[in-house]
Chains A and B, each alone.
Chain A
Amino acid sequence: MSETADTPDTSTDAMEVASFDDNRNGAIAWIQRTLHNNPSLVPFTVLLVSIAVFGLILGQKFFSPFALTLILQQVAIVGIVGAAQTLVILTAGIDLSVGAIMVISSVVMGQFTFRYGIPAPLAVVAGLLTGALCGYINGWLVARMRLPPFIVTLGMWQIVLASNFLYSANETIRSQDIAEHASILQFFGNKINIGGAVFTYGVIAMVVLVLGLAYVLNQTAWGRHVYAVGDDPEAAELSGVQTQKILISVYVVAGTICAFAGWALVGRIGSISPTAGQFTNIESITAVVIGGVSLFGGRGSILGTLFGALIVGVFSLGLRLVGTDPQWTFLLIGLLIIFAVAVDQWIRRASA
Chain B
Amino acid sequence: MNSPAHQAESAAVQPILTARNLVKRFGSVVALNGADLDLFPGEVLAIIGDNGAGKSTLIKAISGALRLDSGEISLDGASVSFNSPLQARAAGIETVYQNLALSPALSITDNMFLGREIRQKGFAGRWLRRLDRRAMETQAREKLSELGLLTIQNISQSVETLSGGQRQGIAVARAATFGSKVIIMDEPTAALGVKESRRVLELIQDVRNRGISIILISHNMPHVFEVADRVHVHRLGRRLCVIDPKTYTMSDAVAFMTGAKEAPVD
Pick the residue among A22, A240, A299 that contacts B153 (CB under 8 A): A22
Q: Does A60 contact B (CB under 8 A)?
A: no
Given contacts A20-B154, A221-B117, A236-B114, contact A228 B103 (CB under 8 A): yes
A221 to chain B, nearest CB (A): 4
Contact, CB under 8 Å: B130 / A13 = no
Among B129, B163, B198, point to the contact of A1 (Cβ < 8 A). B163
Interface centre among A14, A15, A222, A228 (most CB of B within 10 A): A228
Q: Could you tell me the distance in whole angstroms from the C-beta of B176 to the nearest C-beta in chain A? A: 15
What mask results when residues 1 to 27 of chain A are scored 1 for a CB within 8 Å of chain B, else 0? 101010000000111011111100000
Residues 91-119 of B at the A interface (beta carbon under 8 Å): 95, 97, 99-106, 108, 110-111, 114-117, 119
Cβ-based interface call for A61 (8 A): no
- A227 and B117 contact, CB distance less than 8 A: no
Is A235's CB under 8 angstroms from B86's CB? no
Q: A240 and B161 in contact (CB under 8 A), knowing A227-B103, A231-B104? A: no
Task: Decide if B195 touches A232 in the complex (CB within 8 Å).
Answer: no
Q: From residue 153 to 174 of chain B, which have CB atoms closer than 8 A to chain A?
A: 153-155, 157-158, 160-166, 169
Is A327 in contact with chain B by the CB < 8 A criterion? Answer: no
Q: Are B114 and A18 in contact (CB under 8 A)?
A: no
Smallest beta-carbon distance B52→chain A, Å: 23
Number of A-B residue pairs having CB atoms within 8 Å of each other in the complex: 125
Is the Cβ of A231 less than 8 Å from the Cβ of B151?
no
A239→B103 CA distance, assembly (Å): 9
| B129 in contact with A220 (CB, 8 Å) | yes
Q: Is B55 an interface residue (CB 8 A)?
A: no
| B contact residues, total (Cβ < 8 Å) | 49
- B193 contacts the other chain (CB 8 A): yes
A224 touches B110 (CB 8 A): yes
A28 CA / B91 CA spacing, docked (Å): 47
Do A219 and B199 touch across chains, with their CB atoms under 8 A apart?
A: no
Whose C-beta in chain B lies nearest to the C-beta of A20?
Answer: B152
Q: B97 touches which one: A14, A22, A238, A352 (CB < 8 A)?
A: A238
Q: Is the CB of A352 within 8 A of B104?
A: yes
Interface range, A side: 35 or more
Q: What does the 1/0 interface line of B169-194 toward A look like (CB < 8 Å)?
A: 10000000000000000000000010
Contact A234 B86 (CB under 8 A): no
Query: Which A residues touch B133, using CB under 8 A?
Result: 219
Quote the shortest CB–CB distance from B260 to chain A (angstroms).
Answer: 36
A22 in contact with B154 (CB, 8 Å): yes
Selected contact of B131 from candidates A219, A241, A298, A351, CB within 8 Å:
A219
Chain A nearest CB from B6 CB (Å) reads 33
Q: Tell me, rounded to whole Å, the shortest Cβ–Cβ distance linking B217 to chain A.
A: 16
B128 surroundings in chain A (CB, below 8 A): 215, 219-220
Minimum CB–CB distance from B160 to chain A (whole Å) comes to 5
7 example contacts (A-B, Cβ-Cβ < 8 A) are as follows A3-B163, A14-B198, A20-B152, A22-B161, A236-B101, A239-B103, A299-B105
| Chain A residues with a Cβ under 8 A of chain B | 1, 3, 5, 13-15, 17-22, 33, 36-37, 215-216, 219-222, 224-225, 227-228, 231-232, 234-236, 238-241, 298-299, 351-352
